[in-house]
Amino acid sequence: MKFNTKAIHGGQQHEEATGSVMTPIFQTSTYAQSSPGVHKGYEYSRAANPTRTALENAFASIENGTHGFAFSSGLSAIDCVLRLLKPGDEIITGDDLYGGTYRMFTRLFQKYGLKFKFVDVGEVTNVVDEVSDATKLIWLETPTNPLMKIVDVVGVTNAVKNKNTDILVAVDNTFATPYLQRPLDLGVDIVMHSATKYLGGHSDLVMGALMVKDEKLAKELHFIQFAAGAIAGPMDSFLALRGIKTLHLRMQRHCENGMAVAKFLKEHNKVSNVYYPGLESHPNHEIAKNQMDDFGGMVSFRLKDESKKATFKFLESTKLFTLAESLGGVESLVNHPTTMTHASIPEEERLKIGITESLIRLSVGVEDIDDLLDDLSQALKQ
């Protein structure tokens, strides 16, 4: 199946008892057994639930994986991956990361003996040069949050695997979605999503996802999911399944609108820098062209007036772009990384990589592009 068909039908079967086209919400915790240990594949919903199973099959399908896992949040999905490791193991990751990921790495797992190296992942050599005997995991975002850097996934994966085939490579594919980029096909071991974002698509659920191809790795992740218990519930699983069925339609408009917004901002006299991989001025534009099918709906930019006052004035003046956390819904959102999504990163570290007061991140929705451009135009005039 091609992707548009797979988004609707991939990994899905009509419900057996009634023939229901859409998987029902199995709002149940436990299941009858005909004899001890003899059942229909379900015992207790922490281990498996029919609605979650359907979603996990869909997750695997859209990323061209063999196994998918649904978690109660994106961070709980990352937590599951890190539980594969042991004290003393080392993780190499990007210096431009979602603030919640950075917080989990530095304030939780560092405490438990894991070691983290933060590097500029825009260059393959920056990653490879840091690989040591202790390195067990490479954690990548591409595009990165919020500076929209692009990682050469094939380049990094091949170089790392050439040094040590046992090192796991994981990609947070939240910004790109499998509509635009499928990291498992590029050689990585694990794909992660905050399904709260584009996969759900309607700002009405919180969920994480992992997708893999390797059977042994899948068994390890399922054991951790079962034993730690951070599972997605049946209602949220139902909503995410519904969201995936329109992912391809929404992403087409997100991409169209994202490019139009990026071009508009690039030409505006009050804007200094625009960060969008679809622009030829982006330093990794060629890698993005080769690695992605399009460039998505996430755009970051800076105002020429770098004062907090000017930035806040813009943020308070948009009408269609709602000032809010998160991203990836049908509605357009505007975010101030310094005070919102990346506030947990120490100021010194933020400034080092360029997350300053004047940096603004947009999640460009699927509204009419003329209305969105009018809104940005009037807010920039304030």
Known active-site residue 172: yes
Catalytic residue selected from 79, 95, 96, 172: 172
DSSP string, 183-231: GGGGT-SEEEEETTTTTT-SS----EEEEE--HHHHHHHHHHHHHH--B
Q: Please name which of 248, 365, 259 lies closest in space to residue 318, comparing C-alpha atoms.
A: 365
Count the alpha carbons within 13 Å of 75 in the hemisphere toward its beta carbon. 12
From 52, 136, 149, 197, the catalytic residue: 197
How buried is residue 363: exposed, middle or buried, by Cβ count under 10 Å (0-12/13-18/19+)? buried
Phi, psi angle pair for 174, to nearest 5°: -60, -50
Which residues in 277-298 are b (16+ Cβ under 10 Å) and which e?
Answer: bbbeebebbebbbebbebbbbb
Cα torsion 242, 248, 249, 250 to 10°: value is 80
* Angle at the Cα of 67 from the Cα atoms of 64 and 73, rounded to 5 degrees: 100
**Nearest-angstrom CA–CA distance, 21 and 236:** 18
Indicate if 149 belongs to the active site: no
Judge contact between 314 and 382, C-beta under 8 A.
yes
- Choose the catalytic residue: 6, 79, 95, 98: 98
102 is catalytic: no
Q: Is 294 a catalytic residue?
A: no
Show which residues are catalytic: 46, 98, 172, 197
